[in-house]
Amino acid sequence: MHLAEADPSILSRRAEIVAALNALVPGGVVSDRAGLAAFDGDALGAYRQPPLVCVLPTTAAQVAAVLKFASGNGVPIVPRGAGTSLSGGALPRGDGILLGLSRMNRIVEIDLENRSVVAEPGVTNLAITRAVEAHGFYYAPDPSSQIACTIGGNVAENSGGLHCLKYGLTTNNLLGVKLATFGGGIVELGSKSGSDRGYDLLGIVTGSEGLLGVVVEATVRILPKPPVTRTLLAAFKSVPDAGRCVADIIAGGIVPAAMEFMDRRAVEAVEDYSAPGYPRGAEGVLIVDADGLKSEVDDAIARIAEIARGCGAEVREARDEDERARLWAGRKAAFPAMGRLAPDMLCMDGTIPRRKLPEVLERMSRMAEDYGLGFCNVFHAGDGNLHPLIIFDVMKEGELARAERFGADILRLCVEVGGVLTGEHGVGVEKRDLMGEMFTDADLAQQQRLKCAFDGAGLLNPGKVFPTLSACVEQGHMHVKHGRVPYPNLPRF
């Protein structure tokens, strides 16, 4: 993948840009080389690029002022939460300001009566639950990186997690935001009561990957903690058996709180890494949570166990909270466990119709053999969201390119069977050039017109999500051929 060349006319103005930011955010500007190296990318590890300068505001007014400066002076802006994006959403630009929100990390309000929490964007996902759990509440979306990732980043990426099968993505748990717009104003979208009239701008900003504005405050819905949670582990003799089990559970009208699949390679890697107690030798393992009141959980667990056994699985239940925590910790450790097997890793994120699971898993295995790369499959089975992990070594000639081609082929396969490129990680730079696989020129043009409505200059997180640059005035006529861009070195958006 090609990253944009830095604009020399911006580079030549670096000193004055740094001085201006110092005036707007005193004590919050990082401009020395060593300091900037700490901000040179996110969790899409294969790409590194230090920003022109990094600014770390502490107030919404400072964010608005920085955006106004950038807009007035034609400087690109890349917003960043904790830098945990797996798609390169926070990858800096050499000619752009990196706007880090990590210092805006206060919880502004806890309103138990209305089951909501107001937080600044740099508050971590887990910190919201920590702030309310003593009162019996929690924040439902739980991306695996929840100890580090921020609520502002969650809104920008519409993050999911293990439990979104029952509880939805960020967008379904978000009541409102204050958004700093590129013109330098702050607008309130949504409301604590959940009602909002007019266009659903909150809905469109959520998951917009930092292209439409910068979240300076988020109001989220918290839920009462379910009184009972039980966890089953089912070990299958074949992958199609596991796929059938998933389909039967969903078709049976059961909505588990979470339902995760790991294939044999993932199970072996995780057992070698942290030994959570998964059955080695199984071709696939499902971990299923049911939560709620005792009678409904008991009923769901009994039916899930029966369905799994009917699909030839060996089923056991976590005996206590310790074992439950261990089974889930193992699943969340799949990423670091695979990371031990090779220096570099790509984590894909397509979603497919659930009934296509066996077919897609089979075809991915054959692709892996063709490419000669190690990989394993971990996924949110309940909603068909796949996370194939491809391991490689960027220092070996051609391996990065081969891994990226393998990843792209997996995503093409997802689209071919009726699915989508990304279920929760976002497009970022990683899948940008594949957008044409899923969307037509007309589809992409319409999305880009919306981008222009919020950011006519195309300076907010440029180079992300869309495969090609088109000036906002030309929006009526744009030509993208299968996402491939004729001049890949041109700056985009």
Of 268 and 455, CB closest to another protein: 455
Side by side, the strands of the sheet bearing 29-30 are: 29-30, 53-55, 97-100, 77-80
Of 113 and 397, CB closest to another protein: 113
Q: Side chain identity at 242, as an amino acid letter?
A: A
What DSSP string describes 425-469? S--TTTTGGGHHHHS-HHHHHHHHHHHHHH-TT--BSTTSS-SS-
* Residue from 181, 219, 377, 468 in contact with another protein (CB under 8 A): 181
Pairwise CA distance, residues 489 & 493, whole Å: 12
Residue 319 burial by Cβ neighbours in a 10 Å radius (0-12, 13-18, 19+): exposed
- By three-state DSSP, how is residue 145 classified? coil
HSE toward the beta carbon, residue 363, CA cutoff 13 A = 15
Phi and psi angles of residue 39, each rounded to the nearest 5 degrees, phi first: -115, 25
Q: How far is the CB of 391 from another protein (least distance, A)?
A: 24
Q: Please, what's the largest Cα pairwise distance for the chain?
A: 69
What DSSP string describes 407-437? HHHHHHHHHHTT-BS-SSS--TTTTGGGHHH
The verdict on 44 binding another protein (CB under 8 A) reads no
Per-residue binder mask for another protein (CB under 8 A), 65-104, x = binder: ----------------------------------------
- By three-state DSSP, how is residue 316 classified? strand
Chain centroid offset of residue 159 CA: 5
* Residue from 1, 11, 23, 187 in contact with another protein (CB under 8 A): 187
Pairwise CA distance, residues 130 & 126, whole Å: 6
* Residue from 23, 353, 372, 481 in contact with another protein (CB under 8 A): 353
**What sections of 231-385 are H helices per DSSP?**
239-251, 264-274, 294-310, 321-332, 334-339, 357-371
Alpha-carbon separation of residue 72 from 69, 206, 312 (angstroms): 5, 25, 64
The verdict on 207 binding another protein (CB under 8 A) reads yes
Pairwise CA distance, residues 200 & 174, whole Å: 12
* Residue from 355, 402, 405, 412 in contact with another protein (CB under 8 A): 355
- By three-state DSSP, how is residue 345 classified? strand
Number of residues lying near another protein (CB under 8 A): 87
Of 341 and 420, CB closest to another protein: 420
* Residue from 92, 256, 426, 462 in contact with another protein (CB under 8 A): 426
The verdict on 225 binding another protein (CB under 8 A) reads yes
Q: How far is the CB of 268 from another protein (least distance, A)?
A: 27
The verdict on 241 binding another protein (CB under 8 A) reads no
Q: How far is the CB of 51 from another protein (least distance, A)?
A: 25
The verdict on 299 binding another protein (CB under 8 A) reads yes
**If you search the block for the tokens 């089975």, which residue do you land on?**
381
Q: Please list every residue from 270 through 289 that binds another protein, using CB under 8 A.
A: none
Q: How far is the CB of 222 from another protein (least distance, A)?
A: 9
Quick one: tokens of 98?
Answer: 């990196």
Candidates 13-21, 47-55, 178-186, 308-316: pick the segment binding another protein (CB under 8 A).
178-186
Per-residue binder mask for another protein (CB under 8 A), 110-129, x = binder: --xxxx--------------
Q: Please list every residue from 1 through 40 that binds another protein, using CB under 8 A.
A: none
Of 263 and 430, CB closest to another protein: 430
Residues in contact with 339: Cβ distance below 8 Å, sequence separation at least 6, in sequence order? 345, 391
Q: How far is the CB of 28 from another protein (least distance, A)?
A: 25
Candidates 146-154, 202-210, 309-317, 388-396: pick the segment binding another protein (CB under 8 A).
202-210
Q: How far is the CB of 345 from another protein (least distance, A)?
A: 21
* Residue from 107, 131, 333, 420 in contact with another protein (CB under 8 A): 420
The verdict on 406 binding another protein (CB under 8 A) reads no
Of 268 and 349, CB closest to another protein: 349
Q: Please list every residue from 428 through 487 that binds another protein, using CB under 8 A.
A: 431, 435, 438-440, 442-447, 449-454, 465, 475-476
